[in-house]
Amino acid sequence: MNNVKDKIDIRSLGLEALQEHFIRMGEKSFRAKQIYEWLWKKSCFSFNEMSNISKELRSKLDENFVINNVKINSSQVSADKTIKNSFILHDTHLIEGVLIPTPGRMTACVSSQVGCSLTCKFCATGYMERKRNLNPDEIYDQVVLIDKQARENYGVPLSNIVYMGMGEPLLNYANMMKSVERITAEDGLNMSAKRITVSTAGIAKMIKKLGDDQVKFNLALSLHAANDEKRNAIMPINEQNSLKALAEALKYYYAKTKNPVTYEYIIFDGVNDGIQDAVELAKFCKHLPCKVNIIEYNPIAFASYINAGEDKVEAFAAYLQKQGINTHLRRSRGKDIDAACGQLAIKEKAKVTEV
C-alpha cells in the first residue's frame, strides 16, 4: 500500500484498534502501545524517529499508515510578542493558531474548524465558508507546535489553551472532546483540564451536552449583547439560540458541573456600548456564577465595526463592577499583525490562489 490515499491515518485509531491492526500484521500487540506513546505522549510526526522500534517495523508502519500532521505555513510576530500562525493541513487547507504571552501565563489559541458556518458579522472567519471539521489530532498538533514556539522563543511552556480560533467548537463536538482527552491524558500531553477554555457562540443544546458529559474544562460564551434584537443583528446564531434558551442551557450546565461561566463581550462603538446595554448584561449575569471579559476589538476589512471610546468602555466596566460582577478588561493583542481571527488565513489563502 504505497499510495498515501490507501494508507490509514494512524492517529484516527484508538489504542485497542491499533493493537488489532498490529495483530493482523503479525506483530505483538504491546508494540501498539509503544507506537501510541510515540504518537501522543512524545508528539512524534515521523515513524523514522521512533528509535525503540525496529527498522523493519518502521518500514511496515510507513507502508500501512500515515501521520497527517499539521505544519506551520507562516508566522507573524507582534511587538507585544504575540505570535500568529497560519497552519497548513495535509489536504492544503489553512487554519490559524496564536501564541499569546502575558505576565503569568502562556496561552495557545487554537482552531476547531476550517472556516466557520456561523457568519458572525464582526468576525473575519465568519466571512469564510466552512470547509470541514478538524480532526482531534489536528487540534492537538496546534497545541504541540505552539508549545514548541513558547519554549523556543520565550523559554516557557504553555500554561493555558483556549478554543477561540477559527470555527465553532460545539459544532465539532466529538472531535473537540477527543482532542481535550488527548491533551489532558497521562499518555498524552498531560495538561490540566482546568487550564483549557472552550469558547462558543452559543449552541444551547450542545451546552447542555457539556453538562451531561460533566466536562472539567472551562466554558466561555461569546455574548456581545444581552438583548436579542442586537445579538440577532451581530450574531445570526442567536435567532435559533435566544438569550432565554442560552440562559436555560447555562443554568443546566452549571447545575451539572458547578463550573462558573465566562462571558466574552466586545464593546462596539454605537452598537452595544451604552449603560442600558450594561444593565441588560448585568441582568443576564444573575443566572449563575460568572465573570465578564470585556474585549478590545480588532477591526477587519469586511465589517464597519470599531471599538467604543475608552470613556464608554470604562463606564461600562464600572457599572458591572458596582453590580458585584467579576469584570476584566482584555486589551487587544497583536494589533500590528493580522490579529483578528481569520485574517491571516484569508491573506495566505489569497496568496495561494494568486499562485
For residue 342, what pLDDT is reported?
A: 46
- Binding residues for S-adenosyl-L-methionine, by number, are 167-168, 199, 222-224, 298
Domain borders along the chain are: 12-66, 71-337
For residue 95, what pLDDT is reported?
A: 96
Domain 12-66 has CATH 3.40.50.300: no
User: What does the alpha-carbon distance between residue 92 and residue 131 come to, in Å, rounded to a whole number?
Assistant: 12
Residue corresponding to grid cell 478590545: 296
List, run by run, the mean pLDDT of 10-residue segments along the chain (355 residues): 77 95 90 95 96 93 96 94 96 96 94 92 84 97 98 97 96 98 97 98 98 98 96 95 98 98 95 96 96 89 84 95 94 61 47 37
User: What does the alpha-carbon distance between residue 36 and residue 74 come to, in Å, rounded to a whole number?
Assistant: 29
For residue 100, what pLDDT is reported?
A: 95
For residue 307, what pLDDT is reported?
A: 87
Please name the residues in contact with 242: beta carbons below 8 A apart, sequence gap of 6 or more: 228
Look at the pTM and tell me if it is higher than 0.85: yes
- Binding residues, by number, are 116, 120, 123, 167-168, 199, 222-224, 298
For residue 302, what pLDDT is reported?
A: 76
For residue 355, what pLDDT is reported?
A: 30
Alpha helices in the chain (DSSP H): 15-24, 30-40, 55-64, 136-154, 173-184, 204-212, 228-234, 243-257, 275-285, 310-322, 343-354
Between CA 346 and CA 349, with CA 348 as vertex, the angle to 5 degrees is 65
Please name the residues in contact with 293: beta carbons below 8 A apart, sequence gap of 6 or more: 220, 262, 263, 264, 265, 328, 330
Active site residues: 96, 341
User: What does the alpha-carbon distance between residue 319 and residue 68 come to, in Å, rounded to a whole number?
Assistant: 49
- State the pairing for strand pair 132-133/113-114: antiparallel
Superfamily of domain 71-337: Aldolase class I (3.20.20.70)
For residue 351, what pLDDT is reported?
A: 45
Judged on CB neighbours under 10 Å (0-12, 13-18, 19+), 88 is: middle
User: What does the alpha-carbon distance between residue 139 and residue 43 come to, in Å, rounded to a whole number?
Assistant: 13
What residues form DSSP beta bridges with 265? 294
- Binding residues for [4Fe-4S] cluster, by number, are 116, 120, 123
Is-contact 88 97, C-beta < 8 A? no
What residues form DSSP beta bridges with 106? 101
